[in-house]
Chain A
Amino acid sequence: MKQAFWTLFALLAHWRRHRLNLAALLAGLSIATALWSGVQALNANARKSYADAAAAVNGADTRALVSRQGGLFPQSDYVRLRRAGWKVSPVLEGTIRLKDKTLRIIGIEPLTLPRGARLSGLGEKIGLEKFITSPGAGFAAPETLDTFGLRGAVASLGQAFPPVEVLSQAPPDALIMDVGLAQKLLDRHDQLSRLIVESEGEAPLSDVVGQTLRLVEPNQDSDLARLTDSFHLNLTAFALLSFLVGLFIVHASFGLAFEQRLTIIRTVRAVGVSARTLVAAMCMELFALTLLAGGGGLLLGYWMAQALLPNVAASLDSLYGAAVSTRLSLEPGWILSGMLMAFAGAISSAWSGLIRAFRLPILRTQPQAWREAHRHYLRRQGLLGATVFAAALAFWFFGGGYTAGFALIGGASLGVALILPVAMDSALRLGGRFANRPLTQWFWADSRQQLPGLSLALMSLLLALAANIGVGGMVEGFRLTFTQWLNERLIAEVYFEAKDDLAARRIEQWLGRRAEVEAILPTWRTKTEIGHWPAEVFGLRAHPTYREHFPLLSQSEEAWDRLTRGDAALISEQLARRLKLGLGDAIEIPAQDATLRAIVVGIYPDYGNPIGQLRVDADAFKRHWPLAPRTNYSIRVAPRKTEALIRDLQEEMGPSLARLANRAYVKELSLSIFERTFAVTGALNTLTLIVAAIALFFSLLTLNEMRLMQLAPVWALGVSSPRLAVVELVRTLIFAATTALWALPLGLFMSWCLVAIVNVEAFGWRLPFHVFPGQWAQAFVIALLVALAAALVPAIRLARKTPAELLRVFANEG
């Protein structure tokens, strides 16, 4: 044991002399761990919020009864079930708009809440009398109180709004209150959205309430978890990519350290330390370094997650209506998994060194042997790259789903990255063949000699660039399509939502008296569930506004006329894909009275909406969803009279309005949601690029320390050191440029995969594939800048080398 410690000290002494390499190693591992664990923390936080939201009332393992048609069901079903011996507890959930944000109202019934339920402990804190007797009480998490300005007097919010108090275990953006009060506040008298099942009665469900309700098993993922899956997979994919790029640095550092330490290793072995003890000491060293770097990485990751969290939360809110807590909670599992990932990464980077140390013949110590041997690996590496690529293709072909799509992207990227050094080596060899001047010949040969040391850094640059081009292309393409589509879709000049049905009728009458109003178009909406997926039904009239402008991907003949007849529907692309429906197919829409059977007469794009959507005629909507609020409208009005109308409407009907906006505002809002959604992607993209730059920087810097041996003879032959420095700089730029060129097809492939596979599978919409040469140029410039930044310091150092330093190389040789 003592021997192992002394060996360890001998090994560690190396780092004191090679601080840069140590820094690279620690930085690489820290960054890899940070990016990975940071994203994991974001995902875990979001998932926890979904679970909290889904299990806000019932625990995670309780079953629930929900309407078979989706939406609400009458309270009498609850009473009937209780009277039949079913131990169920009523819940009414809904949302109200407050401060331009959505506040989730959760109405519960404290007496019947199962004891295991998450909020069952609520009673102890609250006091039953206060909770269920007028004026009642609302409870929300502290952050919710701040967000919605619910602290202090809330009398201005209306009669039904109760005094609000703090309850830290309340889910984010939610207000918990008595079910009776929630019915008043949401204007849903005698209606419920869910029953939590504590135990079933003897009588079967259908005997008690007919076909109105269905049982939902607890382990079924919440809708949010399913809907947001792709979003999180997207983040995870980026985290994995960054982790991989970080590991390249670690791998390069370990490889370099191993080479540099061959002398120490040989000496240690020669003085009698067994291979076993040596490897044990190296393992200890690895452990200590990983602990240090992993710990730092976790701190960094936590910080990163905290910095990105508000953005992620905002994206999830605007995209999916998912309320994600902006308080990052640190779970022990997260620390553990982050450290495990750091160890897995470190071991995977160092194991080949460990094995070789174990098998190393004591007498063989030729430095650079590893690097030279590396050439022999090239062919194998190329083969491996091709295999990975093929495996990814096969996985996608046989797998399917967006996971397979990501696997295809990952496999292709890794494959192409592995092939990069091989391709570059061939290119350099080709270059060498055409060179006829001695210096250029040396240049090509020396470049080939340097390639193994830089290949990992170049591979990581390749991946980062390709991701940049790929994701950038996808996002830009999406933006283009989205903006165009918004322009077509947002035709009406004014949009409003009335406070309730009565208010809507009043406003309608008021608008009817205004001469400048050309049309009042209902956009009534309600929720339903089709094939266990949440969906929205819209009621509209086939006004020329829609006939002429509403963007459709495909439509049957006389689609709009058929829609007016009431037995046809337009469905969104997402819904069509999810349910595999085409024109002419019948769709069963669970409605409040019975199931509405409609023929699909049109399919329309609905970008950015995670929920399936369908549109039916307004009269049919009224008939089949008599209880749904009919409060949303859009107004056609002469553009120059729009502002005046909005002003008058606001002035005269203000109290009846819940929301009022003009087209520009709605459009701006949609676009800002879009931008926010991709802000996180952009941030991760940039981070990956930074990591790649660091990898290149450290590789060049560490290589430079050993380059003197190759450069000194060239200098001795008469090439000045500044000139040598320029050559070095040019070489690096050529490497970077080649990598960028190589990254372009990979990036395009990535972009295509995202648009044609991942988006379709994950979101259900297919965007037209666009290419953006401007972005490529940008990526190319970035690559050169990164290379320049990385190569500049070593080049300057080289230019400033004194003859004495260069001469010392020969002295050492002697």
Chain B
Amino acid sequence: MKARALAAALVCLVPFSVAADSFGGLGKEAPGFAPVVPGVEFTFPRDFGAHPGFRTEWWYLTANLRDGSGASYGAQWTLFRQALKPGPEGGGWDNGVVFMGHAAVTSATEHLFAETLARGGIGQAGVSGEPFEAFIDNWSMKARGNGIARLSLGAVGREFSYKLELTSDKGPVLQGDKGYSLKSESGQASYYFSEPFYTVKGEIVLRGKAVAVSGRAWMDREWSSQPLASDQKGWDWFSLHLPAGEKLMLFRLRGLSGRDFIGGTWISADGAPQRLQAGDISIEPLKETKLSAATLPSEWRLAVKSHGLDIITKPVNPASWMGTRFSYWEGPIAFAGSHEGEGYLEMTGY
């Protein structure tokens, strides 16, 4: 799951409304919005696009990249869509939808990020299913051809930019129970699928210096109307590229009472998902790092007993702090132990 996305979506509203709960609205009940129920079958390419009627939705892409010398980089591209009122979208300024984009580039020594906001309905930001394109200002994620198998991705921020070409030869992977992803014991959930098999080629520009890069990327698509429970205060989310083409998604939603909600999906190299049970997973922070904005774990021990996975993750750059309106940690990580590889980590609520 990409609760992180949620986080950010709230972000939209943070400066504008005093959120009654810890997630600035994500845990808020959403009367009038479409509910998330099990047993709904996804239809592509329609579900690549936006889902009016639901309150919150996001397109979230993270890439683990390397330059010619083998140095690690990370890139993030996110678009959140938030409906301010239930019911059909209006035209023009009356659209009632707010978009928010986050983009970042991370190296071992740098973490540059940007944020932008836009109203729906006037052409400044939007998403279409076919041909697929998600855009806000001059940032875009656009399909080359049908579906989302081949994407062009670009974003520009202060002192950084990137242009990446993504290709995947496997279809989307449904998370949770055929795309129905439970987020709490009280029944909050989202619709959730991923495309974790992208290979990437492209260029990032960091403080005026262009670097040719290549690597792997993971896209998450998620939509909901009330994705969190009101007593959840933050989350830790991992997307990992395992050896031999396997993928792993793990998350932990931290409850205010100390009770965590844990979940994950093991994805085989051919794209077949296996839902992991909470008891099968262990997510344990090891070491903390103090940043100026927050003190939060920098090293984690992750284990999935059924697959004999026991690894320790370390960040490429411990200071991958997204100092956006709603701030959080998001950055590339490397891991070693029973398996070796790389991935992305998001931590919120610290």
Kindly list chain A residues whose C-beta atoms are within 8 Å of the C-beta of B31.
none
Q: Does A75 contact B (CB under 8 A)?
A: yes
Partner of A129, one of B16, B116, B158: B16
Per the bound structure, the CA–CA distance linking A83 and B137 in Å amounts to 4
Q: Which of A85, A132, A134 has the most CB atoms of chain B within a 10 A radius of its CB?
A: A132
Which of A65-73, A105-113, A439-447, A777-785 lies at the interface with chain B? A105-113
- Interface contact B138-A111, CB-CB below 8 Å: no
Which of A178-186, A295-303, A621-629 lies at the interface with chain B? A178-186
Q: Does A12 contact B (CB under 8 A)?
A: no
Per the bound structure, the CA–CA distance linking A75 and B158 in Å amounts to 25
* Contact A123 B16, CB 8 Å, known A111-B119, A178-B93, A180-B93: yes
Partner of B16, one of A79, A110, A202: A110
0 or 1 for each of A181-201: is its CB under 8 Å from B? (1 = yes) = 101000000100000000101
Q: Does A487 contact B (CB under 8 A)?
A: no
When C-beta atoms are compared, the residue in chain B nearest to A122 turns out to be: B16
Kindly list chain B residues whose C-beta atoms are within 8 Å of the C-beta of A813.
none
* Contact A112 B16, CB 8 Å, known A79-B122, A79-B123, A190-B92: no
Chain B: minimal CB distance from A108 (Å): 11
- Interface contact B84-A112, CB-CB below 8 Å: no
- Interface contact A83-B138, CB-CB below 8 Å: yes
- Interface contact B85-A129, CB-CB below 8 Å: yes
When C-beta atoms are compared, the residue in chain B nearest to A90 turns out to be: B122
Per the bound structure, the CA–CA distance linking A124 and B137 in Å amounts to 24
0 or 1 for each of A76-95: is its CB under 8 Å from B? (1 = yes) = 10110011110100000000
0 or 1 for each of A45-58: is its CB under 8 Å from B? (1 = yes) = 00000000000000
Kindly list chain A residues whose C-beta atoms are within 8 Å of the C-beta of B90.
134
* Contact A124 B122, CB 8 Å, known A85-B137, A85-B156, A133-B96: no
Q: Does A598 contact B (CB under 8 A)?
A: no
- Interface contact B138-A85, CB-CB below 8 Å: yes
Q: Does A209 contact B (CB under 8 A)?
A: no
Q: Does B29 contact A (CB under 8 A)?
A: no
User: Which residues of B111-160 are within 8 A (CB) of A?
Assistant: 116-119, 122-124, 135, 137-138, 156, 158
- Interface contact A75-B122, CB-CB below 8 Å: yes
Partner of A111, one of B96, B98, B123: B98
Kindly list chain A residues whose C-beta atoms are within 8 Å of the C-beta of B119.
109, 111, 132
- Interface contact A123-B15, CB-CB below 8 Å: yes
Kindly list chain B residues whose C-beta atoms are within 8 Å of the C-beta of A158.
none
* Contact A127 B16, CB 8 Å, known A79-B124, A82-B137, A201-B138: yes
Q: Does A480 contact B (CB under 8 A)?
A: no
Kindly list chain A residues whose C-beta atoms are within 8 Å of the C-beta of B13.
128-129
Q: Does A126 contact B (CB under 8 A)?
A: yes
Q: Does B17 contact A (CB under 8 A)?
A: yes
Tally the A-B contacts, defined by beta carbons under 8 Å.
Answer: 71
When C-beta atoms are compared, the residue in chain B nearest to A131 turns out to be: B16
Kindly list chain B residues whose C-beta atoms are within 8 Å of the C-beta of A133.
84-85, 94, 96
Partner of A127, one of B17, B93, B123: B17
Per the bound structure, the CA–CA distance linking A134 and B123 in Å amounts to 20
Chain A: minimal CB distance from B89 (Å): 11
- Interface contact A82-B17, CB-CB below 8 Å: no
- Interface contact A180-B92, CB-CB below 8 Å: yes
Kindly list chain A residues whose C-beta atoms are within 8 Å of the C-beta of B17.
127-129
Partner of B93, one of A83, A84, A87, A183: A183
Kindly list chain B residues whose C-beta atoms are within 8 Å of the C-beta of A131.
16
Per the bound structure, the CA–CA distance linking A78 and B137 in Å amounts to 10
Per the bound structure, the CA–CA distance linking A210 and B269 in Å amounts to 51
- Interface contact B93-A179, CB-CB below 8 Å: yes
User: Which residues of A607-633 are within 8 A (CB) of B?
Assistant: none
Kindly list chain A residues whose C-beta atoms are within 8 Å of the C-beta of B94.
133-134, 180
When C-beta atoms are compared, the residue in chain B nearest to A110 turns out to be: B16
Chain B: minimal CB distance from A193 (Å): 15
The interface size of chain B toward A, counting residues with CB under 8 Å, comes to 25
Kindly list chain B residues whose C-beta atoms are within 8 Å of the C-beta of A75.
122
Kindly list chain B residues whose C-beta atoms are within 8 Å of the C-beta of A87.
116, 137
Chain B: minimal CB distance from A180 (Å): 2
Per the bound structure, the CA–CA distance linking A183 and B122 in Å amounts to 13
Per the bound structure, the CA–CA distance linking A199 and B124 in Å amounts to 16
Kindly list chain A residues whose C-beta atoms are within 8 Å of the C-beta of B96.
132-133
Per the bound structure, the CA–CA distance linking A131 and B96 in Å amounts to 11
Kindly list chain A residues whose C-beta atoms are within 8 Å of the C-beta of B15.
123-124, 128
Chain A: minimal CB distance from B328 (Å): 19
User: Which residues of B196-245 are within 8 A (CB) of A?
Assistant: none
Chain B: minimal CB distance from A53 (Å): 24
Chain A: minimal CB distance from B71 (Å): 26
- Interface contact B93-A132, CB-CB below 8 Å: yes
Per the bound structure, the CA–CA distance linking A401 and B39 in Å amounts to 81
Per the bound structure, the CA–CA distance linking A202 and B205 in Å amounts to 14
Chain B: minimal CB distance from A703 (Å): 71
* Contact A84 B138, CB 8 Å, known A79-B123, A109-B119, A111-B117: yes
Partner of B118, one of A82, A127, A129, A201: A82
- Interface contact B138-A129, CB-CB below 8 Å: no
Kindly list chain A residues whose C-beta atoms are within 8 Å of the C-beta of B85.
129, 133
- Interface contact B124-A83, CB-CB below 8 Å: yes
0 or 1 for each of A334-373: is its CB under 8 Å from B? (1 = yes) = 0000000000000000000000000000000000000000
0 or 1 for each of A393-414: is its CB under 8 Å from B? (1 = yes) = 0000000000000000000000
* Contact A82 B124, CB 8 Å, known A109-B119, A111-B117, A132-B93: yes
Chain B: minimal CB distance from A123 (Å): 4
Kindly list chain A residues whose C-beta atoms are within 8 Å of the C-beta of B116.
87
0 or 1 for each of B3-15: is its CB under 8 Å from A? (1 = yes) = 0000000001101
Per the bound structure, the CA–CA distance linking A132 and B85 in Å amounts to 10
Partner of B117, one of A84, A112, A129, A183: A112
- Interface contact B93-A126, CB-CB below 8 Å: no
- Interface contact A124-B117, CB-CB below 8 Å: no
Q: Which of B15, B85, B116, B117 has the most CB atoms of chain A within a 10 A radius of its CB?
A: B15
Chain B: minimal CB distance from A201 (Å): 7
Per the bound structure, the CA–CA distance linking A42 and B21 in Å amounts to 48
Per the bound structure, the CA–CA distance linking A111 and B101 in Å amounts to 12
When C-beta atoms are compared, the residue in chain A nearest to B325 turns out to be: A115
* Contact A129 B84, CB 8 Å, known A83-B124, A123-B15: yes
Per the bound structure, the CA–CA distance linking A420 and B84 in Å amounts to 77
Kindly list chain B residues whose C-beta atoms are within 8 Å of the C-beta of A110.
16
Chain B: minimal CB distance from A129 (Å): 5
User: Which residues of A123-152 are within 8 A (CB) of B?
Assistant: 123-124, 126-129, 131-134
Per the bound structure, the CA–CA distance linking A181 and B93 in Å amounts to 8
User: Which residues of B65-93 are within 8 A (CB) of A?
Assistant: 84-85, 90, 92-93
Chain B: minimal CB distance from A349 (Å): 57
Per the bound structure, the CA–CA distance linking A178 and B98 in Å amounts to 14
Per the bound structure, the CA–CA distance linking A126 and B13 in Å amounts to 12
Per the bound structure, the CA–CA distance linking A644 and B85 in Å amounts to 51
Per the bound structure, the CA–CA distance linking A687 and B341 in Å amounts to 86
Per the bound structure, the CA–CA distance linking A123 and B98 in Å amounts to 14
Kindly list chain B residues whose C-beta atoms are within 8 Å of the C-beta of A183.
93
Per the bound structure, the CA–CA distance linking A137 and B13 in Å amounts to 17
Per the bound structure, the CA–CA distance linking A112 and B138 in Å amounts to 14
- Interface contact B93-A128, CB-CB below 8 Å: no
Kindly list chain A residues whose C-beta atoms are within 8 Å of the C-beta of B98.
111, 128, 132
Q: Which of B92, B96, B137, B158 has the most CB atoms of chain A within a 10 A radius of its CB?
A: B137
Kindly list chain B residues whose C-beta atoms are within 8 Å of the C-beta of A128.
12-13, 15-17, 84, 98
Beyond the given pairs A75-B122, A128-B98, A129-B16, 4 more chain A to chain B contacts, judged by CB atoms under 8 angstroms and listed by A's residue number, are A83-B124, A110-B16, A129-B84, A183-B93
List, sorted by A's number, 26 A–B pairs whose CB atoms are closer than 8 Å: A82-B138, A83-B123, A83-B124, A83-B137, A84-B138, A85-B138, A85-B156, A87-B137, A110-B16, A111-B98, A112-B117, A123-B15, A127-B16, A127-B17, A128-B12, A128-B15, A128-B16, A128-B84, A132-B93, A132-B96, A132-B98, A134-B94, A180-B92, A180-B94, A190-B92, A202-B156
In the complex, the 6 A-B pairs of residues with the closest C-beta atoms, listed nearest first:
A180-B93, A128-B16, A85-B138, A111-B117, A123-B16, A79-B123
